[in-house]
Amino acid sequence: MQQKDVLLTNKESKEMPQKDAKPTETMNGARALVLSLIAEGVDTLFGYPGGAIMPTYDKLFDYLDQINHVLTRHEQGSVHAAQGYARTSGKVGVAISTSGPGATNMITGLGDAMMDSNPIVCITGQVASQLLGTDAFQETDVVNTTIPVTKWNVQVTRAEDIPEAIAKAFYIAKSGRPGPVVVDITKDAQISDMEFKGYEPCKKIETYFPNPELNLDKVKEAAALINQSKKPYILAGQGILLSGAEKEAQTLAEKADIPVASTLLGLSAFPTDHPLYNGFLGMHGNYSCNKLLNECDLLISIGMRFDDRITGDPNRFAKQAKIIHFDIDASEIDKIIKTDVGILADAKEALSALLPLVNEASHKDWLAEFKVFEREEYNKIIDDEWFPKAGMIRMGEVVHKLSEKTEGKAVVVSDVGQHQMITSRYYDFKLANSHVTSGGMGTMGFGLPAAMVACLGASGRETYAIVGDGGFQMTLQELGTIASNNIPLKIIILNNRFLGMVRQWQQLFFDKRYSFTDIDSPDFVKLADAYGIPGKSVEVREHLDDAIDEMRKHDGPYLLEINVEKEDNVFPMVPSGACVSDMMLELPSDK
């Protein structure tokens, strides 16, 4: 199915005459905005119309042969959709909304994109400039409201300033450490005339330096530490994916025979079936990765930030090790964990300079230590997750079966909660940019709208949303978007009738006082059917294989609800504030 056929909300728009701008032409700001987006290569945008952005929507209607618009069912969904598109396509995602509540509904998505370095541009309408500050209908101070959750924002009050603002927005969103940008455009700027003299992409801003100059002396210092190390350890972050440095990271690991772990957002930066890969690090990370972090003598951290879910107690994080930290954002180096060599650079550029200086090495005994802890984890946790003897279906076996059936080559988008950690642990991501989730913000409701558009950036690959019953109900209205555009997303709801992650903490640390975490849900299959989306509900293990096969064979969207163990827990688990190597592998006897 062609992308344009999936997304056009007006099927007859292909027959509309193209209206290209002349070299210099008088037009209103709304048309200049649309032409600017097209010039930036935007082929798809996600949004919801309203009063203050209506002039732009009116002009957008003339260009549906060149730019697709997806009508989401909520402005938060439009931003998550733009995130999903950016994460899987490598392009800048674009969302658009009206002023007031439309703009403020985007805040959660902006915060999520800021934390997870997603390049998106959000365009908001605004009341007419003469009404600014008067508490006019649907007026909100978007610029000051979004400062904490954007990389840059700007308010445009003159039509002639629109093309330059859009050019800067795209440049800032995608350069350096990517992030979200907001362009707030008053209604009079959209309807006023201007002389459009063509669109000039932004290539430089005098006060903005997104690409730091690589310090080769620092690279030499890093190489010396790697060549001297007996127990090196690579921690692969999302920066590898953002810079396209997957090949360089893998070459470094292979050349120096270094074990690799990833961060949550770094999943799929390194093939999970590679013999040097050991899993992901953090609160619910793999046992060997967490345990041996505090035994390595060198930690090579690439494109990641040392957040609390990775470090646990930062005062007890890899204190025995030298630390090399590659990052393009200067604010991340030495922010939480003191480094011995901090390399401020794009990961691909830095690793390319490093590779010739690194000696070939073998660390056979060090690598063998990971296998010891891996076996302990398998015997205590993974064996039971994949091959349960009795009882309800477990989340781990569902994700493991999906991974096997898709050969680890699907795009998997998870929401936030227990199912997110289970997906991260038990899906074998074989291809880069295959894993999309909300990391730093931990936004419940992220999964469905992000996944529905990840389909479009995934170049025909199977795409799955794995969600919990709680998070799904936060943005389930996007079933309407999926149905109306016939987006072939496969939705798997792991339904444990609880807000599972909160319940797990209540069980472990609050004396099993399940305060408001037992959640009621509608009949999800009937709900999907109301939107014209077929589905099935499964609770018997013997039916699981056939249900997954049926879902995969269906041409179009499909919802599969799987009723899983109600009080299933995710282990290993590092208690909040503990050392990352101090993990729980099972419930204490008194729980």
The per-residue pLDDT for range 400-430, each reduced to its tens digit, is 999 999 999 999 999 999 999 999 999 999 9
Instruction: Supply the pLDDT for residue 561.
Output: 98
- For the chain, the structural domain boundaries read 3-196, 216-363, 393-563
Catalytic residues: 75, 137-138, 187, 501
Where the chain has pLDDT below 70, the residues are: 1-22, 457-459, 591
- What pLDDT is stored for residue 5 in this prediction? 32
Give bridge partners of residue 499 from the DSSP assignment: none
Long-range contacts (CB closer than 8 Å, 24 or more residues apart) made by 575-580:
575/508, 575/509, 576/283, 577/312, 577/313, 578/312, 578/313, 579/294, 579/312, 579/313, 579/316, 579/317, 580/281, 580/282, 580/285, 580/290, 580/293, 580/294, 580/310, 580/311, 580/312, 580/313, 580/316, 580/317
pLDDT at 589: 77
User: 167 is written with which tokens?
Assistant: 């050019």
Q: So what's the pLDDT on residue 457?
A: 66
What percentage of the chain has pLDDT greater than the value 70? 96
Question: What's domain 216-363's superfamily in CATH?
Answer: TPP-binding domain (3.40.50.1220)
- Tell me the three state secondary structure of residue 485: coil
Maximum separation of any 2 CA atoms in the chain, in Å:
77
Class of 3-196 in CATH: alpha beta
**pLDDT value for 315:** 94
Domain 216-363 shares a fold with domain 393-563: yes
Domain 393-563 has CATH 3.40.50.970: yes
